[in-house]
Amino acid sequence: MIGNYGYKDGSGEFYISLDSDKCNSCKKCVEECPEQVLEMICNDYDEIVPIVRDDHRKKIKFSCAPCKPLNQKTTPICVKICDQNAIWHSW
Amino acid sequence: MIKVVLLDDRKTVAKSNILSGFDQNASVESALNTAMQQIGIIKSEITNIAATGVARKVIYLQPPINANIETAEVLADIKGAIDIHPSARVVIDVGAEEGKAVRCDEKGKVIDFVSNERCAAGAGVFIEAMSRALEIDVQDFGALALQSQKTIPMNSQCTVFAESEVISLLHSNITKEDIARSVNDAIAGRVASMTRRIGLENDLVLVGGMAKNVGYVDAMKRTLQTDVIVLPEPEFIGAYGAALTAAEYQQK
Amino acid sequence: MKKLESEKKEYWKWPEYSFKAEGVDWNNAKIIVAGIDVGSVSSKTAIFVDDELASFSIIRTGSNSPESSQKVMSHALEGTGVKLNDLKYIVSTGYGRVNVPFAQRAITEIACHGRGANYIWGPTVKTVLDMGGQDCKAISIDEKGKIVNFIMNDKCAAGTGRGMEVFADLLSIPIENIGETSLVKDEPKPVSSTCVVFAKSEALGLLRQGSPKESVVAAYCSAMSHRVFTLLERVGVKTEFVITGGIAKNIGVVSRLEKELGVKALPLPKEQKFDPQLAGAIGASLFAKTLFMKANKQS
């Protein structure tokens, strides 16, 4: 299952996509994120999956800002550290 | 909002500020006429007119105003801010419809800038909408917020949803002061997050109409955890900076 | 159908109602379960009696969501002779799902909408668009109604019911008539689709310039449908495609969206009395049945 967490507003479109089928629950993304944006939960189908935390979801542009300095194309830590290609950002 | 600043020998001699109607040219003319009447001059006595802001294309080289200079808002902001406060390094300009932050060096050269455009939750209209929801005058919003010591973090990141949330809070018997403070904290949080992207460097200066909201200024200090300077008549800084550009153009 | 409130002249207030199916033997029922969907704008409940949708109710949530969950449930049970305790399992969903004191479990509205759409339209549905009161979501499901891919926007009012309420209020058009009113002959340019607050200022400008109301409302419906289209693009539209949520009843947005997508949404099945706002509550009810059966097998 692919979940796209984030939002689109007047200033742009900001989504983090998490593919729970590719995820192997290593939890490195959860642990390495400097802003604790991600967490592992038990979903509605009783599966353990990664998600974006609810208190970050509606301000993800700001939460992820430390990994994305202006005018530089850097890969965020969570994307770099996942060896399953289970996470990607839309911006 | 249309702001006009007239300078004589780099000194401010007239100012005017009016709400823009849907005919922007007519509104600018009206604002300019008001300013000119303050010192009894006519348009032909003005040497240079510099246009800045969202509608600058409307008057730059266009009749009837025929502004002969145009300058970007961020440059105007920096110029105006540094002239008044030379140690300004980060200028945070939140107006009615847009919020932006600019960082410059000691010579006033732009290092970086960021803006939060086209989303009402990061601009003055947010406060206007919440004042309506609380049924208080937008001018009194800041002072009301300062009467509170408590913030309830707001869930909504959107002006439309925040209005419903404010009404909900009112129904839950949260006081208007606490709500006003929470609203200012919410918008300050967004403006501060935006500003952090260009880096914080003292002195941090607040300009734009929003800086007149004392509750917002207080919230910014708390959120950024540093002191901020509010320039006098902050809503005119952009126009002032553009006027300085016009004054310098003459001297070339 | 029973109208629960007399129509006041508040244009953004859509009519609340409840429905009871004919010929349901409530007193001799074996398993009665319910799903309750507490949204930020509307609260819905669907009650299934022995696997048949027997009753439902849709009301405005208002400022107190625990209270509205009790209210909507009592409307749905009214006149059936059945009490809340007689229900074997209740699942809550929606924005206010954690505040439903009498629910046994809370499940996300995304999962419930997937399952609900699968029930209403059948296993051929692959894409569900739900335009709710304060959110907008696009869901890809499999033939069992399980989520494959989803995206939600609940941060921004553009593309949600609240945005439409703002316009109904601005133009003094009852919200349930907006769709029809917007079907004008000459399609106007859309207003700014990226912010309801700015779209509203634009609309005021258009009105002052003499644009008729119908044209302005058409401009907004056009903007909203484009906004929703870009959300759907991220998830991809595979047929069959269906629309749930309040705005599904707005032909102005639906017709423009179908045009932009080049795909028509399946209409509601005529045989059953469904309301597109019920997909969440129906899905929740189905989860309730499954969870009840699972719990009973183990005991």
Q: What is the ipTM of this complex?
A: 0.90
The full set of domain ranges for chain B reads 2-72+239-251, 86-230
Q: Which residues of A touch B119 (CB under 8 A)?
A: 9-11
Facing C155 at nearest CB: one of A4, A9, A43 = A9
Q: What is the pTM of this model?
A: 0.87
Minimal CA separation from A60 to chain C, in Å: 10
For residues C20 and C76, give the distance between their C-alpha atoms in angstroms, rounded to a whole number. 8
Which top CATH class is C126-261?
A: alpha beta
Residue B215 pLDDT greater than 90, yes or no: yes
Q: E strands, chain B, where?
A: 2-8, 11-18, 50-51, 69-70, 90-94, 99-104, 110-116, 204-207, 228-230
Contact C194 A10 (CB under 8 A): yes
Q: Which residues of B touch A10 (CB under 8 A)?
A: 117-120
Residue B185 pLDDT greater than 60, yes or no: yes
Beta bridge partners of C37: C44, C93
Report the chain A residue with the minimal C-alpha distance to residue B195.
A62
Facing C107 at nearest CB: one of A1, A5, A44 = A44
Mention every residue, 6+ apart, whose C-beta is less than 8 A from residue C202.
C191, C192
Q: What is the pLDDT of residue C298?
A: 62
Mean pLDDT computed over every residue of chain C: 90
Q: What is the pLDDT of residue B136?
A: 94
Q: pLDDT digit string (tens) for A46-69?
A: 899 999 999 899 889 989 988 887
Q: What is the pLDDT of residue B251?
A: 55
For residues B147 and B140, give the distance between their C-alpha atoms in angstroms, rounded to a whole number. 11
Q: Does C166 touch chain B (CB under 8 A)?
A: yes
Contact A7 C235 (CB under 8 A): no
Q: What is the pLDDT of residue B27?
A: 87
Kindly state the percentage of chain A with pLDDT values over 90: 71
Q: How many CA atoms lie within 13 A of C176 on its CB side?
A: 7
Confidence of residue B20 (pLDDT cuts 50, 70, 90): confident
Phi, psi (deg, nearest 5) at residue C58: -130, 120
- Residue C244 DSSP symbol: E
Q: What is the pLDDT of residue C5?
A: 39
Average of pLDDT values for C102-110?
A: 94
Average of pLDDT values for C244-248?
A: 90
For residues C136 and C157, give the distance between their C-alpha atoms in angstroms, rounded to a whole number. 9
Kindly state the percentage of chain C with pLDDT values over 90: 66
SS3 C179: helix
Q: Does B114 touch chain A (CB under 8 A)?
A: yes
Q: pLDDT digit string (tens) for C45-98?
A: 999 999 999 999 999 988 777 889 999 999 999 999 999 999 999 999 998 899
Contact B119 A62 (CB under 8 A): no
Q: pLDDT digit string (tens) for B36-54?
A: 999 999 999 999 999 998 7
Mean pLDDT computed over every residue of chain B: 91
Minimal CA separation from A33 to chain B, in Å: 17
Report the chain C residue with the minimal C-alpha distance to residue A3.
C150
Minimal CA separation from B247 to chain C, in Å: 35
Q: What is the pLDDT of residue B244?
A: 93
Window 133-172 of C: residues touching A by CB (8 A cutoff) are 146-156, 158
C195: left (phi over 0), alpha (psi -120 to 50) or beta: beta
Facing A7 at nearest CB: one of C149, C156, C235 = C156
Report the chain C residue with the minimal C-alpha distance to residue B168.
C63
Minimal CA separation from B37 to chain C, in Å: 29
Q: pLDDT digit string (tens) for B116-150?
A: 878 899 999 999 999 999 999 999 999 999 999 99
Burial grade of C125 (CB within 10 A; 0-12, 13-18, 19 or more): buried
Q: Does B171 touch chain C (CB under 8 A)?
A: yes
Residue B55 pLDDT greater than 90, yes or no: no
Give the Cβ contact number of residue B202 at 10 Å: 13
Query: Could you check whether C17-112+273-295 and C126-261 share the same CATH topology?
Result: yes
Facing C153 at nearest CB: one of A3, A8, A10 = A8
Contact C151 A58 (CB under 8 A): no
Residue C34 pLDDT greater than 80, yes or no: yes
Taking CA atoms, C229 is separated from A60, A90, C69, C260, in Å, by: 22, 17, 32, 7
The full set of domain ranges for chain C reads 17-112+273-295, 126-261
Report the chain C residue with the minimal C-alpha distance to residue B125.
C197
For residues A38 and A27, give the distance between their C-alpha atoms in angstroms, rounded to a whole number. 9
Burial grade of C151 (CB within 10 A; 0-12, 13-18, 19 or more): buried
Confidence of residue B168 (pLDDT cuts 50, 70, 90): confident
Q: Does B157 touch chain C (CB under 8 A)?
A: yes
Q: Does C155 touch chain B (CB under 8 A)?
A: yes
Is residue A67 within 8 Å of residue A74, measured between CB atoms?
A: yes
Write the CATH number of the domain with boundaries C17-112+273-295.
3.30.420.40
Q: What is the pLDDT of residue B250?
A: 64
Facing C195 at nearest CB: one of B119, B157, B168 = B119
Minimal CA separation from A21 to chain C, in Å: 10
Q: Which residues of C touch B164 (CB under 8 A)?
A: 40, 134, 162
Residue C159 pLDDT greater than 80, yes or no: yes
Beta bridge partners of B102: B91, B113
* Helix (H) or strand (E) segment spanning residue B28: helix B24-39
Q: What is the pLDDT of residue C9?
A: 59
Minimal CA separation from B125 to chain C, in Å: 8
Q: Which of C136, C170, C197 to mutate to test the interface with B (most CBs of B within 10 A)?
A: C197
Contact C196 B160 (CB under 8 A): yes
Q: Does A7 touch chain C (CB under 8 A)?
A: yes
Is residue B130 within 8 Å of residue B162, measured between CB atoms?
A: yes
Q: How many pairs of residues across A and C have Cβ atoms under 8 Å apart?
A: 53
Facing B160 at nearest CB: one of C63, C157, C192 = C157
| Full DSSP string of B44-100 | GG----EE-STTHHHHBT-TTT-BSEE--HHHHHHHHHHHH-TT--EEEEE-SS-EE
Contact A70 B118 (CB under 8 A): no
Average of pLDDT values for B182-208?
A: 93
Q: Which two tokens stand for residue C125?
A: 């549905």
Facing C150 at nearest CB: one of A3, A10, A90 = A3
Q: Which residues of A touch C155 (CB under 8 A)?
A: 6-9, 57-59
Q: pLDDT digit string (tens) for B216-247?
A: 999 999 999 999 999 999 999 999 999 999 99
Q: What is the pLDDT of residue A70?
A: 75
Report the chain B residue with the minimal C-alpha distance to residue C202.
B22
Q: Among 3.30.70.870, 3.40.30.10, 3.30.420.40, 3.40.50.970, what is the CATH number of B86-230? A: 3.30.420.40
Report the chain B residue with the minimal C-alpha distance to residue A7.
B157
Is residue A64 within 8 Å of residue A35, measured between CB atoms?
A: yes
